[in-house]
Structure 1
Amino acid sequence: MTDIQDKKSDQIARALCEKIIRGELQPGEKLRQIAVSREYGVSHATVREAMLQLAAQGLTIVLPRRGMCVAPLDRNAADELKVMRQALEPVALAHSIPNLTKAQIAKADKIRLACDAAESALDWEEANRMFHMAIISGCAMPRLTEEISNLQLLYARHFLAKHASNWKRRSDPDHLAIILAIKDRDTHRATAVLHRHLARLS
């Protein structure tokens, strides 16, 4: 596969991923390679690579001799994702805080305000994901941050399926408490708040 094909497959994977997260592609819905290829104007090889990326992320499942379909939503899987995030995100935050610049902290705080101002579950979830990645942006552990990013992505799907239709604007005091602890360079306090925050995920 060429670099151009690889970049296109990444783009297709991201586009399909967003459709799955938003519920535009429903659990159990088949992903037809020919239809995706026509929709995005790319080769079957590019679509196949994109679909394999989705399967590796846990967003799709392979159906023997029948292609792929969107993975089902499973309450046990959501609970597992929460436990994994509780285990990994505080570790990343602890390694991030000493390295965060004032500009990075200011950016995280700006995202926090966008989160509080979100008028829809979709907008809130996107800003929330950005906030959680912003506070660990000083963690010089790319494998760890990549794994956390994928866990957040998978959890977003469960969150939106549950809250998209009954959203009410809200502010999150935990986000503010985390930012204040980061500004104080208080790693223990920041990670404790984050762990408590993740334990309350619904």
Structure 2
Amino acid sequence: MAEDTDPTLVDRIVTSLSAEIESGQLLPNARLLQNDIAARFAASHVPVREAFRRLEAMGLAISLPRRGVRVAGVDAASHFEALEMRAVLEGLALRHAFAHYPAGHLAKLVAADQACSLAQTEAAWGEANRSFHSCLIAPCPMPGLLAEIGRLNSVLRRGEVQLGGRQRLSLPRDDREHKAILAALRSGEAERAATVLVQHIRRGHLSRSL
């Protein structure tokens, strides 16, 4: 396959740049220069432009007349909007996922929650917490819905970095709302689990990404 149309090259560029944007390594309004990025990835401008289009679709970049492609910022209003949307959509995804849980899936959720409870560092807790939330909705048979939740999570992670306001956690810690979600799922009460999940996510506004 020709380099200009190689999707794996575009994926590599998108993955790398999105990680740098979400971590704050690339700051809001920083210009993404085609020549520099093409040289960095030993690519022509064609896959770089395609990567830029994907980053724009993900809300990570914005194309401005006469100012080029730049890293998109997250303000308090867009962070709140993303959190509200994520809360509602993740609850919806859980409602649809529950009916498709394979055998042993609840055990995986329990293990993911236990990893949260055992975490000794903020980084370890964050990774375990993301795994728990991902496992909750992974069986949802709506790929478009899951993709939108992923996009919103990206906005929230960037907002956490750009806006600050995170509360430091006292670790190790148990999450009572995780336990309440698991209890509802064990009882077959998907609606109750989804309601607790929505409330749980909303508590994260400008404190931390859940």
Distance 2:42 2:169 in 1: 36
1:101-112 aligned at under 5 Å gives the runs: 101-112=102-113
Unmatched 5+ stretches in structure 2: 206-210
| Aligned with 1:119 (options 121, 134, 142) | 121
Query: How far is the alpha carbon of 1:167 from its aligned partner?
Result: 5.8
Q: What is the match of residue 197 of structure 2?
A: 194
Q: Give the SS at the match of 2:43.
A: coil
Q: What is the match of residue 178 of structure 2?
A: 175
More divergent stretch after superposition (45-54 vs 182-191): 182-191
Q: Give the SS at the match of 2:16.
A: helix
Give the structure with the larger helix fraction. Answer: 1
Query: How far is the alpha carbon of 1:127 from its aligned partner?
Result: 3.5
1:14-163 aligned at under 5 Å gives the runs: 14-116=15-117, 117=119, 119-120=121-122, 122-161=123-162, 162=164
**Residue pair 2:97, 2:139 contacting (<8 A) in 1 also:** yes
Deviation digits for residues 136-184 of structure 1, max 9, x if unmatched? 1121111111111111121111123426795654442212221232232
Q: Give the SS at the match of 1:26.
A: coil
- Equivalent position amino acid for 1:86 in 2: A
More divergent stretch after superposition (177-186 vs 105-114): 105-114
Normalised by the size of structure 2, how large is the TM-score?
A: 0.84
- Equivalent position amino acid for 1:195 in 2: V
- CA RMSD of superposed structures (Å): 2.4
Query: How far is the alpha carbon of 1:45 from its aligned partner?
Result: 1.2
Q: What is the match of residue 7 of structure 1?
A: 8
- Equivalent position amino acid for 2:131 in 1: M
**Residue pair 1:61, 1:70 contacting (<8 A) in 2 also:** yes
Q: Percent identity?
A: 35
Query: How far is the alpha carbon of 1:103 from its aligned partner?
Result: 3.0
- Equivalent position amino acid for 1:11 in 2: R
Deviation digits for residues 6-43 of structure 1, max 9, x if unmatched? 12212211111111111111111111111112222222
Name the count of aligned residue pairs. Answer: 201
Deviation digits for residues 46-101 of structure 1, max 9, x if unmatched? 11111111111111111213321111221000011011112211111011112112
Normalised by the size of structure 1, how large is the TM-score?
A: 0.87
